[in-house]
Structure 1
């Protein structure tokens, strides 16, 4: 096994937070082998046994909340308060998954219909075995826990490869779960760079991989998984839109818009990046938004850009947008590594990189629209489709807009609120990925449906699945089907 190590750094100061092994394919394979044994034991416990242990794990994580938040702060640079919020959300999801797994996944009877009147049918969802999770750095607890908690609750063992920027958080999470479940390593963390994740994706003993990250990296993960036809859950980035209707509460809308765009230094896959405001309220909304932005400061209200290379992307987007748009707040000089001050730009062409590509920084583009219909059309004109927001006092219109948004999730008169509802599935469409975590869909994502049909009694004169079947039996079948399905419904 390799003895090479790598350091995790505090992006705000450059100080070394910790040193971790750069684990190779052999080390990853050893972890997967241990996970296979753990999965057999964990799956055999049944729902009640897993529920009790996962609730114990939730309690352990909760007791170490402050410590874990401090580590998230050190490795990402985000304020401790923001780190605390994401861990609290992760705890609520772990609690929900543990408490609801049996109801969602347990065996249940299924109606057989008239053709199967002599049958009994059942459906249940069984564990896959070993699940690999490859997590991001921007929310190093909340995001991967959306896969880890639901995979564990569904009866699987998990091998987790955290981002090389936040390895310490991943290691500590596995240690906390092991404290609650010491019998077998149901949750292990392997640390390393890109090849570590590739080794996990390529291991044929891994029965599903959940990945969160860029679209480009997702394609490489999918290619690795394709070698063994390993199914994947892919959660990529977004270019999320925020629609402000003519009757919106402008103070609330501006407040939510600003937080959705600037929190975590804009490094949020479901954060606000594009804003479309109906003409009638455009001017007052812009005044409210810019006034609020003037009091927000990088390094105080939000942290640094965690991944240094992203600074070049942010700088390019601002520079390109400034050529043809109007800079309302900030500008090219807002990029002062490792921090980026708030940037608001208006009248930016829709084909600009700042509108088309994910910026992943504390920037917003705002455009005036004739009405909400144009706003919706522009919001949907994106290759991404992760999340969005609608602000309107008209409940019916707001819901119509929310449902029509080409996204996996939409918040109405709030921002990113769906992430705090454990029962709601989380995921996107298009370049934002596919598959779902969270909620009942998230539990089923990490299980395999098992269908069973059992003959209760033989149907006299209707032995259809036999070479002894005669013309009379076929005629009876035709008459039955004609009776059931041959009449047009009006």
Structure 2
């Protein structure tokens, strides 16, 4: 059944119909466990984006005037469609991203939960309209309405297919926006299923449009005159280009960008719990997470015991193909990312940093990197300061909670952070002072649809998920009248 998603003749979904992309190239979709070609996909091009944006523009008026309850039914249809295809989607994630089965299952379940959550919010939208404001000291009253911003463009990354797209599509459609989504050129296969489901549930033509392709498709998306907002998830380098591209028209943007996030382990922490949180924060998805807590800040009084336990667990971590029994960490998804990570590791080793374990590639086909830990990393070094997007942990020691907070906040990023402490109040006090958008205390990185996702500093603009994700696709209208 997974083969049906690997052998697509049509890979552009515009105006409710599948079409052959008009781009100049065929994209090679790679299986990172072997480095072999998994599928070849005809790319879309600028002309496809133009048609898709026009279709989204035509569909907008009717979609925005539909009730929230009606839109909710379509969102629940997407959730059902994903659920019925779960086994197929999981296998494609394993093939195309190299995710172990458990990680691939979490991704699909997260996407399903996101559509169900925003269906519930959509059902409550109509009751929120025309909320009355009695203005003090005058004879006027106001009515407040929350209205969709218009057709929106979406650019999603390769590390979490289905998930990051659900985080954009579900709230946008719930709010009454229409959308044009660009899939990643590295991992387009799973997200094309949204077009299949749209057809299956009878979504009005043009409400959701999908274009595969590379940078030229992204550029065309930022230039499409019908689109009134761009939502982007990816690197800071590309995010800056997106922001610059729409600045001439002063379009709103939401940007979910990079991170170099801390995990603080206090002197009273439980060692086993700390090791579990550290490893999940840097080795889940082979470290290919903007939220990777790749800077370990540990109290020096427990550092030797923690490092010993952490290194033992890391060396025991089974790295391999997701189709091999017992695999806990898969390959990096792309060859380019694998080369970048290996280059950064080599640079750190040549600079004399203390590599406790890992430190290179695994000798086999595919994009495999050993889980790597560098100890006592100088805070000016690139391994400490720059986002690596791979299974590489840098550690340092501190003498107090105050010092830990200062070291944690000494970064250009502010996406997430973690704290491990037996004393919850102590952990909460530290979490309050970490400059980041989401903090976990004594728990792995769990993200719920009704939480807030986004960062401070250079980690982005705006928030996804929760009611904040919905409001990102709405504008506030205030109607004033005399009593």
Q: Matches of 2:453 and 2:199 in 1, distance apart? A: 27
Q: Is the 8 A contact 2:183 2:212 kept in 1?
A: yes
1:49 paired residue number = 70
Report Cα offsets for 1:4-59 as digits up to 9, x if no partner.
Answer: 42221212223333322322221111011111222222212110110112112211
The 5 A counterparts of 1:420-439 are 421-439=448-466
Q: Secondary structure at the match of 1:13?
A: coil
Match 1:380 to one of 399, 409, 422: 409
Q: Matches of 1:21 and 1:451 in 2, distance apart? A: 46
Q: Matches of 2:441 and 2:48 in 1, distance apart? A: 46
2:287 paired residue number = 266
Match 1:98 to one of 110, 113, 119: 119
Q: Matches of 1:321 and 1:368 in 2, distance apart? A: 18
Q: Secondary structure at the match of 2:228?
A: strand
Q: Is the 8 A contact 2:23 2:213 kept in 1?
A: no
Matched, 1:329 2:357: yes
Matched, 1:368 2:389: no
The 5 A counterparts of 1:280-299 are 280-299=301-320
Matched, 1:449 2:476: yes
Q: Is the 8 A contact 1:342 1:363 kept in 2?
A: yes
Q: Is the 8 A contact 1:335 1:341 kept in 2?
A: no
Normalised to the residue count of structure 1, the TM-score between the two structures is 0.89
Give the count of matched residue pairs: 453
Q: Matches of 1:29 and 1:58 in 2, distance apart? A: 29
Report Cα offsets for 1:311-368 as digits up to 9, x if no partner.
Answer: 3332233233333332211224568751001111111111111101001111101111
Q: Is the 8 A contact 1:276 1:367 kept in 2?
A: yes
2:218 paired residue number = 197
User: Which consecutive unaligned segments of at least 5 residues does structure 2 have?
Assistant: 1-21, 321-326
Q: Matches of 1:347 and 1:454 in 2, distance apart? A: 65
User: Which consecutive unaligned segments of at least 5 residues does structure 1 have?
Assistant: 457-490
Q: Matches of 2:92 and 2:338 in 1, distance apart? A: 23
2:153 paired residue number = 132
Q: Matches of 1:182 and 1:319 in 2, distance apart? A: 50
1:107 paired residue number = 129
Report Cα offsets for 1:255-308 as digits up to 9, x if no partner.
Answer: 121121111111011122100011221122112211211210221212111121
Q: Is the 8 A contact 2:134 2:140 kept in 1?
A: yes
Shift of 1:3: 5.7
Shift of 1:108: 4.5
2:165 paired residue number = 144
1:74 paired residue number = 95
Q: Is the 8 A contact 1:61 1:177 kept in 2?
A: no
Q: Matches of 1:269 and 1:126 in 2, distance apart? A: 31
1:207 paired residue number = 228
Matched, 1:340 2:369: yes
Q: Matches of 1:241 and 1:335 in 2, distance apart? A: 31
